[in-house]
Amino acid sequence: MHLDVQDLRNFYYRSTLGRAAQAAVRGRLLGIWPEAKGQTVAGYGFAVPLLRPYLKDARRVIGLMPGPQGVMPWPAGLPNVSVLCEETLWPIETGHVDRLVVMHGLETSEHPSAVLDECWRVLGPGGKAIFVVPNRAGLWSRSDKTPFGFGRPYTLGQLETQLRKHQFLPEFHCSALYQPPSSRRFWLKSGALLERTGTRLPTIMAGGVFMVEASKRVHPPRRKGVQDKVRVLNPLGVLNPQPNGKAEPV
């Protein structure tokens, strides 16, 4: 089930733990996509906390928020770019998105396969998506004090298998949120150090979320129509002498 947009806003923008989580995940995202100059960037679910760095140079930024969750104006102090949409019917033309970020949109959906189909549809040739999902073995998926404690957590293998089934090609993965989901002052102060240390650990260990970058796989078009083929029963028949001595077409 989807969380309410007010709860998500309060966590990411009004709580110290939420702002720390936002900084950690956004830092990893910027390490993968440092810029998006001249590109169309979209976020689905509640991905807007990660998209602000792209507002300056991107051609267009769109924040897609599903109906069961609700929508809020974003970004604050600038023209609104957030849109309320159906989970599986986004108001974007096919192939118009260059970069797509999905956070709190896949694990909370009752129709994850249809969501992935819609992700594939809106991406253009060469388009890439990053999926941010709770790590099933991480601490964040076990705490209902954060949005990552709701919905369906994943293992890395489960997520990549799902992506391949929907014509995505996983290219890179990493983890984030190595600090515990605690608002205690000690852990909040240690958060930046724990995130830097976590980047040196194997992806499967400890991180609260998985981040998988995948590209849109497009198969080459098949030829349409049936090619005419000449069926020759006896290819060497032209060498046989004709009874009447006249040449006839084969």
SS3 category, 125:
strand
Is there a domain that residue 237 lies in? no
Residue 161 is part of a domain; what is its CATH number?
A: 3.40.50.150
Reported pTM: 0.83
Question: Which backbone phi and psi does 94 adopt, to 5 degrees?
Answer: -60, 130
* Domain count across the chain: 1
For residues 125-147, average pLDDT: 92
Is there a domain that residue 123 lies in? yes
Is there a domain that residue 249 lies in? no
Q: Give the neighbor-by-neighbor strand order of the sheet with 82-85.
A: 82-85, 60-66, 40-45, 97-103, 123-134, 209-216, 168-176
Is there a domain that residue 227 lies in? no
For residues 182-200, average pLDDT: 69
What pLDDT, on a 0 to 100 scale, did the predictor assign at position 246?
57
Closest to 170 (Cα-Cα) out of 221, 128, 201: 128
Is there a domain that residue 41 lies in? yes
pLDDT for 233 beyond 90: no
Least confident of 29-38, 68-77, 100-109, 229-238: 229-238
Is there a domain that residue 228 lies in? no
Please tell me what DSSP assigns to residue 38.
T
**CB 165, CB 201: distance < 8 Å:** no
pLDDT confidence bin for 155, thresholds 50/70/90: very high
pLDDT for 228 beyond 50: no
Strands 209-216 and 168-176, by their bridges, are: antiparallel
pLDDT for 159 beyond 80: yes
pLDDT for 199 beyond 90: no
> Domain limits at 63?
5-212
pLDDT for 95 beyond 70: yes
Helix orientation angle between 112-122 and 156-165, rounded to the nearest 10 degrees: 60
Is there a domain that residue 162 lies in? yes
pLDDT for 230 beyond 60: no
Q: Output the CA–CA distances (angstroms, integers) from residue 58 to 38, 119, 199, in the order listed.
A: 5, 19, 27
Is there a domain that residue 246 lies in? no
